[in-house]
Amino acid sequence: MNIDGSATRSIWVEADGRSVGIFDQRLLPWVLERMVLRSVEDAAVAIADMATRGAPLIGAVAAYGLAFGLREDASDAALAAAHARLVRTRPTAVNLRWALDRVSDAVRALAPADRAAAAFAEAGRICDEDVAMNRAIGEAGLPLIRALAERKGGQPVNILTHCNAGWLATVDWGTVTAPIYMAHDAAIPLHIWVDETRPRNQGALTAFELAAHGVPHSYIVDNAGGLLIQQGQVDMVIVGTDRVTANGDVCNKIGTYLKALAARAHDVPFYVALPSSTYDPATPDGASVPIEQRSADEIRFVSGTGEADRLTTVRLTGSPAYNPAFDITPAALVTGYVTDLQEISGNPIFPVDRLIRRA
C-alpha cells in the first residue's frame, strides 16, 4: 500500500540484506518513524511493546527474529531459547507461534551453519504468502460489498470496523481493508465507520490508512457502533481476528463481541476476515484461548499531539484499571468467515458452510 507518497510493505529487508525495517506504530498516526531490527531481542521488544501490531505482522517479525537469533547461535538449544523468548511476547495471537513453528521446522534438520540463511529465507516466504492471502481475502470479500451496493441502488455501503486489521497489521493489503480497498478502487461508493478501539486507539491507524487511500470514513468512539447499527446506518460489520478456534469462535480485540451482539440484534451481517494461518484447530473453543492482560497504564494514560504538534502523554485517571486485550465472539454470531483459498479446516466442527472464499 501507500504511505508518505510511496508504495511499501509494513516490513521489509533493509539495504544491508541482513536486517529488517518496520514502522514504529506506537507513534502513528502522528509521527512516521521507521525502526531497524537486527536481533532476536529487537524483534521481541518490538512485538511486546506494540511497536509492531496485528497477528499476521507479528508472526512475520517473529520469524525474522528467529533468523537473527540463529545468526548468533545456531545450536538446537539456542533455537529453542529464541523460540521461547519470542513466543511469550504475545500469548493470544496464534500467528506468532505458527510462524515460529514453521521456521523452526524448516531449519531443524539442517546443519547449524545453514540454519540462519534458511530461516531468513523462510521468513521472507511467510511475508510473500501473507500478501497473497490478504489479496485473496480482498477478492473473496469484494462480492459481498458489491452485492450490498447493488441492493442500495448506488448509495454508499456503510461498513463498521473495529481495531486495525489493515495493511499496517499485516504485510500488505490487510484482512479487513483488502475488500474495502478493492471496492473503493472499483468505484463502489463506500463509507467506513472506524471504531477508535480503546485503549491503544488502533482505529486511528485504520483511519490513517483509509485517508491515505482516499476512502471516505468517520472515526467514532467504540460505543457509537451500537447506536449506528440500531439506526440502520451500518450495512455490514467486518472485523479481523487474532485466532479462530476449532469450533469457529473468534478471538479479537476487546469490544468485538459487543459489535457482534448488536449486529445480531438488528440483522446486520457480521463477517470475520482471516488468513488461513490464523485458524487454530488445536484450540477447541474460545474458552480455551489465553486472554492477554496488558498494563493498566494503557488505560490510565493516553498519547497524542499537543502544542506545536509535539507528541505527549497525559494521565486520564489515577484509579486502578483492568485491561484485557481481547474478547471472544461465539461462532453462532458470525455470518461468514472471509478467507483465502488455502484449505482452512478438515475439522467437521468448524462451520465450513460459512467460509467465503474467492471464486
| Partners of residue 315 on adjacent β-strands | 301
Catalytic status, residue 280: no
What's the count of helices (H) and strands (E) in the chain, helices before strands?
Answer: 10, 18
Catalytic residue among 242, 280, 327, 340: 242
CB-based burial label for 281 (10 Å; 0-12, 13-18, 19+): middle
Grid coordinates belonging to 179: 475488500
Amino acid identity of 38?
R
Q: Strand 355-356 vs strand 11-13: parallel, antiparallel, or unpaired?
A: unpaired
Non-local CB neighbours of 257 within 8 Å, separated by 6+ positions: 327, 328, 329, 333
CB contact at 8 A, 176 and 250: no
CA dist., res. 140 & res. 256, Å (int): 22
CA dist., res. 179 & res. 88, Å (int): 32
Which positions are annotated as active-site residues? 242
